[in-house]
Amino acid sequence: MKDNRIVITGMGVMSAIGNNAGECLDALRHGRTGIGPMRYLDSVHHEFPVGEVKLTCEHMATRLAALIPATGIDLGSYPRTSLMGAIAASEAMRSAKLSTTDKAALLSGTTVGGMDKSERYFADAHHNPEHSKYIATHSCGASTEAIAQCFPGQFHLATTISTACSSALNTIIVGAELLKSGRASVVVAGGSESLTRFHLNGFKSLMILDHEPCRPFDATRAGLNLGEGAAYLVLETESHALARGIEPLAVLSGTGNRCDAFHQTASSDNGEGAYQAMSRALATAGLEPADIDYVNAHGTGTPNNDASECEALKRVFGTSVPPFSSTKSFTGHTTSASGSIEAAFCVMALRHQFLPVNLNWHAPMDNGLKPVVDMEPSREIVNVQCNAFGFGGNDSSIIISKYQGHEQ
């Protein structure tokens, strides 16, 4: 019996296109982007479009308070990363029908952490002791602990992974290993990342922000749009899910992580790290390249990334590259949270049998590859591959497959 398969039993999402999974699905299926003028981030750089979650922190705190039991937590002091993360994690656990007796591990990916609070209050924290409490929320680990505190007794382990833009996808990979080793019976894995001035200014200094809505894989692409959001998947073994009476949403059939350490921020011309990560995911899934029906590409819209990723796609799939697209044209680049947000989109694509389109695409690159512009698939979608590549060459890829019943 193949009852040790890792399955996905729940998911929760917040992004620029929706404050829950249902809203995100509706936006994907209707080609509705969430990228637009900056509204919530306190920055002078309004020349850059962004993908913001359409709620103030105050509205998020009110929404979260209605979702969690009375804990006495001062949600007003929570950074935006933790608020989004706790709301998305709550949705994921509800959709998986987890009870408080189902002890889980929480794995969360972030890089910005609670920086939005420290940016605002650090300068006068020494003069105003009331503001010092916000500085304590600065670190990546503190933001994860804050999420865990919203669910007393739910998590026996809470840890943070911070590998830049592959962070959230790496939590899913590590979560699968925890399940296989028996160190956890349920894992809530994903990531959360808010926009901050440091975040925006840092990418501006790299000169890779586009003044227009991003155009991944387009010949005229000029850079990325930053975004924010959170998403978590509930992972468990198939036998554990069925014993709880839960029908899995999908199967996590393959995972791969490699680091080519090519450059601090750039990808290699031949996409070596991406190629190795994707190949490893295929190998662990026991699949051939021809078995992949859709690739949710990292697709940031920068000249370097998209060219490099296309080379990796051609190396893996040869002349038969499957349908691929970047959903960052919907959400913006949510950096550390992108892997789990896009993994959730892949689950939606599998369950509802559609191809997320690559918005704003008009002209092919020199390599001749064309991303998805028609959401109707030409064949049944059974296996999808999801990529997330981080600075320093920390590249990850997973394969999510359609759940087609318990395998004997």
The whole-angstrom separation of Cα 373 and Cα 293 is 15
What pLDDT sits at residue 319?
Answer: 94
Q: Nearest 5°: CA angle at 142, between 140 and 145?
A: 115
State whether residue 220 is helix, strand or coil. coil
CA distances from 129 to 58, 126, 137, 206 (A): 22, 6, 15, 36
The whole-angstrom separation of Cα 153 and Cα 93 is 14
Q: Which of 292, 272, 299 is nearest to 365 (CA)?
A: 299
Q: Which residues are catalytic?
A: 165, 298, 333
What is the pTM for the complete model shown?
Answer: 0.95
Sheet bearing 229-237, strands edge to edge = 155-161, 104-109, 187-193, 229-237, 6-14, 250-259, 394-402, 383-390, 294-296, 324-325
| Per-residue confidence in pLDDT tens, the chain, 408 aa | 455 899 999 999 999 999 999 999 999 999 999 999 999 999 999 999 999 999 999 999 999 999 997 678 889 889 999 999 999 999 999 999 998 888 899 999 999 998 888 777 666 655 666 666 666 777 888 999 999 999 999 999 999 999 989 999 999 999 999 999 999 999 999 999 999 998 899 989 989 999 999 999 999 999 999 999 999 999 999 999 999 999 999 999 999 998 776 555 556 667 688 999 999 999 999 999 999 999 999 999 999 889 999 999 999 999 999 999 999 999 999 999 999 999 999 999 999 999 999 999 999 999 889 999 999 999 999 999 999 997 566 899 999 999 998 775
Q: Which of 159, 120, 111 is nearest to 139 (CA)?
A: 111
Report yes or no: 254 and 282 within 8 Å, Cβ to Cβ. yes
The whole-angstrom separation of Cα 113 and Cα 75 is 16
The DSSP secondary structure of 40-99, one letter per residue, reads: SS--S-TTS-BB--SS-HHHHHHHHHHHS------GGG--HHHHHHHHHHHHHHHHTT--
Q: Is 127 exposed, middle or buried (0-12, 13-18, 19+ CB in 10 A)?
A: exposed
